[in-house]
């Protein structure tokens, strides 16, 4: 298991992540029979990646649903997009950090040093490109009379792991259909699995369109991280504990922030809070310069 | 005179010890003891006062919920259910 941050948020978050995994993938008979659940709960979209073709999945994946409905109807699906908007405006990327089962897998495989790896800025761009393609391609790329669910079909490693591999291994009649597409998807999954121990949440940071979408709302969401300027001394503890390399002091609600809240817990001055209220408006001073403060304090 | 200083010093030490667990030792500000205390916005009765700072978020949240309701009224819940209840071979890369 990955190293828990100094704030100790890891244990609470891990418990919540496991609970979410068990609740959203709680159809255990499906794993035994390799048959997917088809009850009414399957119509409910969860706000994070969870392949609905996984035999244990009880709920639907928003990205898969969005793409399949765009592909079928060529109009904006209000139900799925409304759910994603509401989730984004409520808490931003909190779902990535606290509920996503694929995020849990990435954290479980990450070595302690993976948290210290800082990625170049350009590596964040592909997920925004994929987000645009997720919306556009199912509408414009028509094959055999229907749009193509591009991301699920060609990229999604979560779908390959939870749905593709399980079904292909468990159901011999599906194996006859395996071809270059499955090989490509397994290669994508293998690539991400190989990188996970060395780069913390590599898929979330580089290729997850859902994370990219929620990240756009981090700055404006109802619950967001507030920095109390009167308390912040710019010690940089928050930046040091952040596993995804967010410049917390300058931009606490950065689009890359997965809201693991390690920074909130670690702040020695209680200057950070995850709240729906404005704080520190009356405080003096702007953004402290971390480097200057460290020099002044001989650190 | 000297006695006063000693008394004052003792009082200061006692005060510091007393405040060790209630105040931040660096800032002297009230110390927060757990994450639960950080999620205080809802319970401090400040929601309405703070509403103005979160207008966009509230508007977006309400719009999202209304869109969801409109989508469900259009039968999209059934469409998602229909799609998610069947194995999508193309989606998992088998087809």
CB A185 to CB B93 under 8 A? yes
Residues in A touching B68 (Cβ below 8 Å): 78-79, 82-83, 86
Poorest-pLDDT segment among A42-56, A129-143, A176-190, B44-58: B44-58
Residues 6+ apart with CB under 8 A from B76: A69, A77, A78, A79, A80
The average confidence (pLDDT) of chain B is 68
Cβ(A95)–Cβ(A84) below 8 Å: no
CB A52 to CB B83 under 8 A? yes
Residues in A touching B57 (Cβ below 8 Å): 89-90, 220-222
Nearest CA in chain A to B31: A270
CB A90 to CB B57 under 8 A? yes
Residues in A touching B41 (Cβ below 8 Å): 223, 275-277
CB B76 to CB A217 under 8 A? no
The better pLDDT of the pair A40, A30 is held by A40
Distances (CA, A) of A129 to A48, A96, A123: 19, 19, 11
Size of interface A-B (CB pairs under 8 A): 202
Residues in B touching A159 (Cβ below 8 Å): 91-93
Q: What is the pLDDT of residues A68-123, one digit of tens each?
A: 888 887 678 999 999 999 999 999 999 999 999 999 999 999 998 888 888 888 99
Residues in A touching B61 (Cβ below 8 Å): 86, 89-90, 222
The better pLDDT of the pair B68, A29 is held by B68
pLDDT confidence of residue A298: 34
pLDDT of B91 > 60? The answer is yes
Q: Kindly write down the DSSP assignment for every residue of chain B, as one continuous string.
A: -HHHHHHHHHHHHHHHHHHTTTB-TTT-SBPP-SHHHH--GGGGT-HHHHGGGGHHHHHHHHHHHHHHHHHHHTTHHHHHHHHHTS--TTTTT--
pLDDT tier at A238 (50, 70, 90 boundaries)?
very high
Q: What is the pLDDT of residues B54-70, one digit of tens each?
A: 889 999 999 999 999 99
Instruction: Say which CATH topology domain A223-299 has.
Output: Alpha-Beta Plaits (3.30.70)
C-alpha A11/C-alpha B47 separation (Å) is 30
C-alpha A55/C-alpha A167 separation (Å) is 8
Residue of A149, A174, A275 with shortest CB distance to B90: A149
Query: What number is the ipTM of this complex?
Result: 0.83
CB B64 to CB A264 under 8 A? no
Poorest-pLDDT segment among A50-64, A65-79, A156-170, A220-234: A65-79
Residue of A36, A45, A274 with shortest CB distance to B39: A274
Q: What is the pLDDT of residues B21-38, one digit of tens each?
A: 555 555 555 555 555 445
The average confidence (pLDDT) of chain A is 86
Q: Which residue has the tokens 């891990």?
A: A14
Residues in A touching B64 (Cβ below 8 Å): 82-89
Residue of A85, A182, A270 with shortest CB distance to B24: A270
Poorest-pLDDT segment among A118-132, A224-238, B17-31, B49-63: B17-31
pLDDT confidence of residue A47: 95
pLDDT confidence of residue A143: 65
pLDDT of A293 > 50? The answer is no
Boundaries of every domain in chain A: 9-215, 223-299
Structural tokens at position B91:
């989606």
Nearest CA in chain A to B61: A86
pLDDT tier at A19 (50, 70, 90 boundaries)?
very high
Which phi and psi (to 5°) does residue A142 adopt?
Answer: -105, 130
Q: Averaged over B34-55, what is the pLDDT?
A: 54
C-alpha A118/C-alpha A113 separation (Å) is 11
- Asked if B43 reaches chain A (Cβ–Cβ under 8 Å), the answer is no
pLDDT confidence of residue A260: 94
Poorest-pLDDT segment among A146-155, A210-219, A225-234, A235-244: A146-155
CB A167 to CB B94 under 8 A? yes
Q: What is the pLDDT of residues A243-286, one digit of tens each?
A: 999 999 999 999 999 999 999 999 999 999 998 877 755 444 45
Tell me the percentage of chain A whose pLDDT exceeds 70: 87
pLDDT confidence of residue B45: 47
pLDDT of B13 > 80? The answer is no
Residue to test with chain B: of A50, A54, A82, most B Cβ within 10 A: A82
């Amino acid at each position: 298991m990955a190293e828990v941050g100094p704030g100790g948020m890891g244990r609470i978050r891990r418990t919540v992540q496991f609970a979410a995994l068990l609740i959203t993938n709680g159809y255990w008979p499906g794993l035994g029979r390799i048959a997917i659940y088809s009850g009414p709960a399957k119509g409910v979209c969860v706000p994070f990646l969870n392949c609905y073709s996984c035999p244990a999945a009880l709920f639907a994946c928003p990205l898969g649903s969005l793409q399949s409905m765009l592909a079928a109807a060529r109009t904006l699906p209000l139900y799925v997009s409304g759910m994603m908007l509401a989730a984004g405006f409520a808490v931003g990327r909190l779902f990535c950090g606290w509920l996503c089962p694929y995020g849990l897998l990435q954290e479980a495989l990450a070595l302690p040093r993976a948290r210290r790896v800082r990625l170049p800025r350009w590596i964040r761009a592909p997920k925004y490109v994929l987000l645009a393609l997720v919306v556009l391609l199912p509408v414009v790329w028509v094959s055999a009379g229907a749009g193509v669910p591009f991301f699920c079909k060609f990229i999604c490693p979560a779908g390959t792991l939870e749905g593709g591999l399980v079904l292909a291994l468990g159901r011999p009649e599906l194996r006859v259909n395996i071809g270059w597409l499955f090989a490509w998807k397994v290669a994508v999954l293998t690539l991400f699995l190989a990188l996970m121990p060395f780069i913390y949440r590599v898929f979330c940071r580089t290729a997850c369109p859902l994370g990219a979408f929620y990240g756009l709302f981090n700055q404006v969401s109802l619950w967001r991280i507030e920095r109390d300027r009167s308390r912040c001394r710019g010690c940089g503890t928050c930046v040091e504990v952040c596993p995804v390399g967010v410049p917390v002091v300058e931009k606490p609600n950065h689009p890359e922030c997965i809201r693991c809240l390690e920074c909130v817990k670690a702040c020695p001055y209680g200057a950070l809070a995850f709240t729906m209220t404005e704080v520190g408006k009356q405080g003096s001073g702007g953004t402290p310069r971390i480097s200057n403060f460290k020099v002044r304090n001989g650190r | 005179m000297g006695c006063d200083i000693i008394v004052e010093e003792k009082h200061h030490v006692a005060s510091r010890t007393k405040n060790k667990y209630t105040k931040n030792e660096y800032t002297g500000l009230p110390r927060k003891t757990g994450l639960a205390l950080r999620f205080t916005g809802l319970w401090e009765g400040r929601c309405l006062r703070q509403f103005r700072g979160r207008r966009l978020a509230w508007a977006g949240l309400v719009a999202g919920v209304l869109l969801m309701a409109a989508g469900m009224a259009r039968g999209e819940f059934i469409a998602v259910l229909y799609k998610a209840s069947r194995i999508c071979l193309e989606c998992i890369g088998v087809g």
